[in-house]
Structure 1
Amino acid sequence: MPDSKINSMLMKLPDETGKGDVMAATSVLQQRANEIRNNSINWQSYLQSQMIGDDDYRFITEFLSSDGGKRDSLLQDQRTQCAKTFLSLLEHISKDQTVQYILTIMDDMLQEDMNRVEIIREYAKKKRENVWSPFLNLLNRPDSFIQNMTSRIIAKLACWSRDPMEGSDLTFYLTWLKDQLQTPGNEYVQTTARCLQMMLRDEKYRLVFAGMEGVSVLANILSGRINFQIQYQLSFCLWVMTFSPQLVEQMNKHKIIPILGDILNDSVKDKVTRIILAVFRNMIEKPEDAAMVKENCVAMVQAKVLKQLSILQQHKFDDEDIMADIEFLTEKLQASIQDLSSFDEYSTEIKSGRLEWSPVHKSERFWRENVARLTEKNYELLKMLVHLLETSRDTLVLAVASYDIGEFVRHYPRGKSIIEQLGGKQMVMQLLAHEDPNVRYEALLAVQKLMVHNWFVKIKKAIILKSIEKPFKLS
């Protein structure tokens, strides 16, 4: 499918941000908005104090007293006045309660008809003003409701307007969303995720977001303890990002497959299951690089996805897409197992960072046949092992990585010097003092192999020299 058609399809997806949506109705922002809509603002007092002009007073009072067809006619006849009034009110009124009300009714206006975003865009263009500045400034207000309702409006303008958000404005907004996702105790995080869901449907926006370590942020949050709704929303963000094949490689870098595999194994919500299966399907279908597709399949097998698929096949889902994705993934993963070499399995396990005592680690044949491959791509896998020794807090990972370091040294002629150059010897030595007895044991064995290898090399050299001076005689 051409990129333009994919983008068009994604932009038409329901954003689930409307007042009629179940999740929107229960979000903190919408609960608060329902209260704010019932507030009564004394516009007459603002007029008398000359904080607003006569034309703004007339428009806002007429707008609030109209609905349905009458409101449509008003906005058609007074498009310029509409934009002027809303922007003027936001500029000249500072009281939080009133600003909250203005933003809420403005958001409602845009939600009723997405084409109304052009009212704001056309006015800014006519006045030669930056359409984003008034709203981006409001993101700096201390009131959280004002920030997040403004964010909703920005997302609508950015996604529904003819002119996309660009440059420093786009960077500022996406950075703000990213920071809000990571803010501890953010009660409006669901709204932040909704805005990101909207933005990432557009390829221009998702490429910029990915360029600012957005995938890493999503991975870190999904790795933590979050509720199923945020799991769904952030997995949705990853799903739309998989429509840009170049971003799939970033997802591999940040271990998205094992992270989503864990969520899938524990999921009790069909919507979470459905979106994760859709992510996995795209990670197999979208990349053009066959090696990457194979790597993704192996990663899914190691993340116990195939086992979970067999469980899901026993369920009865009303959603045909879920069943289709289950069948597709089962077929592809089973096929990948048939072609899977022991080194493919080992390589994918190292890259996942989730080491366990799988059979390859203690297979003499594996090490004899594959030890040299650990030096490929400028020692890529060895560097990953050393990195795990340095950064992992998982005792199983540390134990297995220590063992593998020792086996590499034992089987590869220059193993000791390579491991020393990569800093592996120092890492293993430090683990001799680890609190976990299994880690200490495997680290000790690895150190012994390093020392034995050193003596073995010296003895081998001595034998060779002696044989040159006086060849052995067979009796």
Structure 2
Amino acid sequence: MLLDPPPYLAALQGNVRQRLIPWDGAVRAGTLTEDQLARIRAVDKVKRDVRKQTVEADLDGYRTLFVGEPGKKSVLESAAKRQDVVQNILVLLSDLLDSVPALSKAILQTGDPYRHFLPLLAHSSNTEDPIPLLTSTVLVKLLSGSRDESPATVGKALPVIFSYLSSLTKNSDAGLQDIGVQEYSSLLYGRAPRQQFWKQRSETVTPLIEILRAAAGVGNSDASASLWSGATGTTRSGFEGSLSGGVGLQLLYGVLLVMWQLSFEGEDIGDDINDEYDIVLLYTQLLRLSPKEKTTRLLISTLLNLLTQNQNTLLPTAVLARLPALLQNLKTRQFADPDLREDMDKLRELLDEYTKTKTTFDEYVGELNSGHLRWSPPHRNTVFWAENARKILEAENGALVRRLADIMRKPWDNDKAVLAIACNDVGCLVREVPERRSQLERLGLKTRVMELMAEPDENVRWESLRALGGWLQYSFDSTK
């Protein structure tokens, strides 16, 4: 599906095209040269095919018009003090880049093609100033039309463009958000731009995740707890089967498209994007709420990319998020898109294969590695602890129990159940392998259990008391 052009941008460009510019007066004032005006008039307000033929016949001349050359100013330099002329030139160049693909490559062959454009992105901090917005559109078309991945593009231009576009995605105006997201999508045409996009993720990815969380009805302050509550069936406001947060379908689709493009770098970023943004949980929740087949397709395809390339780390989280059960429910829906059906089958097969070979111990390890505990079957299963407590303490030189300690150190203000479950697990470890209690004490677990006895939450207090009972029982028995 092609995204509709953002109405905000289309209206702005239309208004600029309709303005009458006193070109002859601009020449007399020295704003333009006769040569520059001749080239502008040859392609301004003419049919697309005439425009294409004119530019292709004089590529060097039009390249020089817009970016200059030694000893000859570009039209943007010449007209720098005339904002109306600069706006007109930017819209004209945007139109030419649409009509004449060869112009992009010709411009980028210049020694410093971005010299006159990048400063215009910082022309003003006022979001109503059209020059930065029109400039970003030109730069995006220039890069996407040439699919350039040169050091000048990736190292110099893209970081500045991404920073500017991030200001649009963080704006409260949905029209500006649409423009920022669509221009992101146009720029993620290859591996190098996608890697740079991820490198700047605090600017680029984080605002998009915030939009997706809003659509899922999840606040950013308690996103993880809210998502786990949804995954475990503990419904709360925002999990009522429909999108929320005032996120329009066009914006939602645009954000999902950008994240899908980014997911092709899943081998490099998969673990980090899940650790930082709970992407598997978030996408599972969005899949439950997906309003259209086209959004469902992007959600499924993104999950498939990430899970396929990070099976050891992300498949356990997908199971904890109850993605397999959700896919079974979706199987009953009659999707028309054959690619969606194919990706869904592949994702279902991937998860089925994993769950067939997964033991209860694997399930517990996956839950620890997810960084979030829930009342899954292993926690209350006495046989599980009898068989696996020592294994948990010894596995990976104690890495699992250190992970449990890391989880317990957090306050979990929005999900106190995690602390109750952790206390339960500590108590089980002490009761099953009392001679290893010093290992737990060195990690600060006994101290933390004692601290949690003062928690306001009744369940946390009860589980911490039970856990401490294991230490007290051992101490009492050893004095007999």
Asked whether the two chains share a fold, i.e. TM above 0.5, the reply is: yes
TM-score, normalised with respect to structure 1: 0.79
Distance 2:446 2:117 in 1: 55
User: In 2 relative to 1, CA 216–195 (structure 1 residues): closer, same or farther, beyond 3 Å?
Assistant: closer
User: In 2 relative to 1, CA 318–149 (structure 1 residues): closer, same or farther, beyond 3 Å?
Assistant: farther
* AA aligned opposite 1:207: Q
Distance 2:173 2:21 in 1: 31
Q: Map 1:285-300; keep pairs closer than 5 Å.
A: 285=308, 287=309, 292-300=310-318
Q: Map 1:72-87; keep pairs closer than 5 Å.
A: 72-87=52-67
Q: Map 1:87-236; keep pairs closer than 5 Å.
A: 87=67, 88-91=74-77, 92-122=79-109, 124-125=110-111, 130-142=112-124, 143-144=126-127, 145-161=130-146, 162=148, 164=150, 165-178=153-166, 180-183=168-171, 185=173, 187-213=175-201, 217=206, 218-225=208-215, 226-236=247-257
Distance 1:156 1:387 in 2: 47
Name whichever of 255-264 and 154-163 sits farther off: 154-163
Aligned twin of 2:361 = 343
* AA aligned opposite 2:122: N
Distance 1:378 1:223 in 2: 37
User: In 2 relative to 1, CA 398–461 (structure 1 residues): closer, same or farther, beyond 3 Å?
Assistant: closer
Q: Deviations over 1:9-68 (max 9, x none)?
A: xxxxx8x4xxxx5x21x4422333233332222223322221222211222122213222
Distance 2:296 2:156 in 1: 36
Identify unmatched segments of 5+ residues in structure 2: 68-73, 216-246
Q: Is the 8 A contact 2:7 2:175 kept in 1?
A: no
Q: Secondary structure at the match of 1:191?
A: helix
- Tell me the CA shift for residue 333 of structure 1: 2.0
User: In 2 relative to 1, CA 276–335 (structure 1 residues): closer, same or farther, beyond 3 Å?
Assistant: same
User: In 2 relative to 1, CA 259–353 (structure 1 residues): closer, same or farther, beyond 3 Å?
Assistant: farther
Q: Secondary structure at the match of 1:355?
A: coil
2:375 corresponds to 1:357: yes
Distance 2:367 2:136 in 1: 40
Match of 1:269 among 271, 274, 292: 292
Distance 2:213 2:305 in 1: 21
* AA aligned opposite 2:342: A
User: In 2 relative to 1, CA 274–452 (structure 1 residues): closer, same or farther, beyond 3 Å?
Assistant: same
Q: Secondary structure at the match of 1:394?
A: coil
Q: Map 1:371-382; keep pairs closer than 5 Å.
A: 371-375=389-393, 376-377=395-396, 379-382=398-401
Q: Secondary structure at the match of 2:42?
A: helix
User: In 2 relative to 1, CA 461–97 (structure 1 residues): closer, same or farther, beyond 3 Å?
Assistant: farther
Aligned twin of 1:248 = 270
User: In 2 relative to 1, CA 306–38 (structure 1 residues): closer, same or farther, beyond 3 Å?
Assistant: farther
Aligned twin of 1:323 = 341
* AA aligned opposite 2:75: L
- Tell me the CA shift for residue 320 of structure 1: 0.7
Q: Secondary structure at the match of 2:44?
A: helix
Q: Deviations over 1:137-194 (max 9, x none)?
A: 1111224343233223222333332563132433333344445434555641222222
* AA aligned opposite 1:137: P
The share of aligned pairs that are identical, in percent, is: 23
Q: Is the 8 A contact 2:372 2:407 kept in 1?
A: no
* AA aligned opposite 1:121: L
User: In 2 relative to 1, CA 360–166 (structure 1 residues): closer, same or farther, beyond 3 Å?
Assistant: same
Identify unmatched segments of 5+ residues in structure 1: 1-13, 464-475
Aligned twin of 1:467 = none
- Tell me the CA shift for residue 377 of structure 1: 4.0
- Tell me the CA shift for residue 261 of structure 1: 0.6
Q: Is the 8 A contact 1:171 1:208 kept in 2?
A: yes
- Tell me the CA shift for residue 267 of structure 1: 0.5
- Tell me the CA shift for residue 258 of structure 1: 1.0
Distance 1:252 1:148 in 2: 32
- Tell me the CA shift for residue 446 of structure 1: 4.1
2:458 corresponds to 1:441: yes
Distance 1:384 1:95 in 2: 62
Q: Secondary structure at the match of 2:116?
A: helix
Aligned twin of 1:334 = 352
Match of 1:58 among 38, 41, 54: 38
Q: Secondary structure at the match of 1:264?
A: helix
Count of residue correspondences: 429
* AA aligned opposite 2:144: C
Q: Deviations over 1:337-359 (max 9, x none)?
A: 22221122223333334533222
Q: Deviations over 1:204-250 (max 9, x none)?
A: 12223323446862545432334433333333233233333222233
Q: Is the 8 A contact 2:17 2:91 kept in 1?
A: yes
Distance 1:197 1:135 in 2: 20
Q: Secondary structure at the match of 2:303?
A: helix
Distance 1:410 1:216 in 2: 45
- Tell me the CA shift for residue 364 of structure 1: 1.5
TM-score, normalised with respect to structure 2: 0.78
Q: Is the 8 A contact 1:120 1:131 kept in 2?
A: yes
Distance 1:319 1:156 in 2: 30
